[in-house]
Amino acid sequence: MNNKKVTVVQCNDIHLADKSPASRKTSYSKEVFDKVRTVVEIAHAIEADGILLAGDIFHNPRKISHFSVNTFIEIFKSFSKQIFIVPGNHDISAKVPFDHAAIATIGSLDNVTILRDGRVHKPFDDKAWFTIAGLEWTYSEDENHYTNLLENIEQKVSLLGMHAPILDEEAKFWTLRRNVISSTDRAHCVAYGHLHSQAPIATIGNTVFSNPGALTRSSINEKNNIPSIAVLDFYDNNTCEVEYVSVNHLPAEDVFYLEYAISVKEAKSAVKSFISSLESATVQSVDGEGLMSAIEQVCDDKEVVDLARDIFRKLD
Ligand SMILES: [Mn+2]
């Protein structure tokens, strides 16, 4: 037994759901179960001390079957070491508070610890130098809010799990920059989830950041993602090393109806632009004739105009 090293396998954004997206050829939940079983096998094979699930285990906490939750319970029970979970935005909802969410049921297992509120844990008696904490999802869009949460962590920890929109580039949504986190110097390693694209492993200040990307492809938009985990090695001299490892997966064309999904997307955007073009039309009166003249003004597709005329004739 090497008391000078702790290995934790990180995975995030599993997004377990009972129903497969329409664009999928294969069962989504079966893929999720297989992936999570594989993560447990990898963790056993490399003799990891624990697995960190950095948020969004479930896709919708209101729509998850007992079967799916219990399948996860069986998989997690089969891991003889510790499992740490940071709650993500998809694990809870206004209608399913934490105590009633499936994640709390998972959290009640003997080998599972839910990491919340930055509380510091020392999970390994023989490696007491290793400390872990977690900051779960919050709805804040305020850097100071996060700085306060981080500063309230009572000591600098080896590993901090987070579920937050951590990104340095400009985006359409609010993001938390990595240098804001590293400036508080509260963790040697921040392992986070939420954004499903893999982020490059980077050391900013004294902190190493790890997000291997979503473990599963829950939507056709993620067809090019490579399901991956991170292997986090911690040493008792306060150094850590991060490596991403891809998990066995089928090629995108075997998982998704790529052409079908593209044609649905195109049809949706055609309908959307047609409807928004109606806003620029002058509607004389809100009867079939008024709407028909509006459609003739904006629609240059004769087939669509004829179809609309037929429909209105039947309505009259
Ligand atoms: Mn999320």
Q: What's the mean pLDDT in 205-209?
A: 96
Residue ranges of alpha helices (H) inside the chain are 28-45, 66-77, 102-107, 143-151, 178-183, 252-255, 258-278, 288-298, 302-315
Instruction: Work out the percent of the chain whose per-residue pLDDT is above 90.
Output: 66
pLDDT above 70 covers a percentage of the chain that reads 94
Q: Tell me how far apart the alpha carbons of residues 139 and 24 are, in angstroms, rounded to a whole number.
A: 31
Convert the pLDDT of each residue in 135-159 to its tens digit: 999 999 999 999 999 999 999 999 9
Rounded Cα–Cα distance for residues 275 and 285 (Å): 17
Q: Determine the distance separating the centroid of ligand 1 and the alpha carbon of 13, expressed in angstroms.
A: 7
The rounded Å distance from CA 246 to ligand 1 centre is 20
Q: Which three-class secondary structure state does DSSP give residue 120?
A: coil
182 pLDDT exceeds 80?
A: yes
CA neighbours within 13 Å on the CB side: how many for 117?
A: 1
Tell me the average pLDDT of the chain. 90
Kindly tell me if the per-residue pLDDT of 127 is higher than 80. Answer: yes
Higher pLDDT residue, 130 or 224? 130
pLDDT at 280: 66
* pLDDT at residue 269, as a whole number: 73
The amino acid at 158: S
**What digits encode the pLDDT tens for the residues 20-52?**
888 888 889 999 999 999 999 999 999 999 999
Taking the centre of ligand 1 as the mean of its atom positions, its distance from the CA of residue 222, in whole angstroms, is 14
Token reading at 252: 């995108």
| Distance from Cα 307 to the centre of ligand 1, integer Å | 43
For residue 127, the CA-to-ligand 1 centroid distance in Å is 31
CA distance 189 to 158: 6
Q: How far is the CA of 54 from the centre of ligand 1 (A)?
A: 9
Of residues 181, 235, 175, the one with CA closest to residue 209: 181
Give the model's confidence band at 227: pLDDT under 50 very low, under 70 low, under 90 confident, else very high.
very high
- For residue 219, the CA-to-ligand 1 centroid distance in Å is 14
**How high is the pLDDT of residue 283?**
60
> What is the whole-number distance in angstroms between the Cα of residue 288 and the centre of ligand 1?
45
Coil, helix or strand at residue 300: coil
97 CA → ligand 1 middle, Å: 16
Tokens of 183: 């400036």
How many Å lie between the centroid of ligand 1 and the Cα of residue 56? 5
Angle at 67 between CA 98 and CA 40, to 5 degrees: 80
Residues carrying CATH 3.60.21.10, the chain: 5-253
**From ligand 1's centre to the CA of 17, what distance in Å?**
14
* Residue with more model confidence, 155 or 298: 155
Residue 273 alpha carbon to ligand 1 centre in Å? 30
- Spacing, Cα 163 to ligand 1 middle (Å): 7
Measured between alpha carbons, how far is 86 from 53 in angstroms, rounded to an integer?
6
* Whether the predicted model's global pTM rises above the 0.85 cut: no
Ligand 1 center to residue 204 CA distance, Å?
23
Ligand 1 centre to CA of 90 (Å) is 6
Q: Where does the pLDDT of residue 315 fall: very low under 50, low under 70, confident under 90, or very high at 90 and above?
A: low
Report how far ligand 1's centroid is from the alpha carbon of 305 (Å).
43
**88 Cα–ligand 1 center, Å:** 5
pLDDT at 96 over 60: yes
Residue 289 has what pLDDT? Answer: 74
Per-residue model confidence as pLDDT tens digits over 83-95 = 999 999 999 888 8
Q: How many residues does the chain have?
A: 316
Q: Which fold has domain 5-253?
A: Purple Acid Phosphatase; chain A, domain 2 (3.60.21)
User: Could you tell me the distance, in angstroms and rounded to a whole number, from the CA of residue 227 to the centre of ligand 1?
Assistant: 16
243-287 pLDDT, tens digit each: 999 998 888 888 888 877 677 677 777 777 777 776 666 665 566
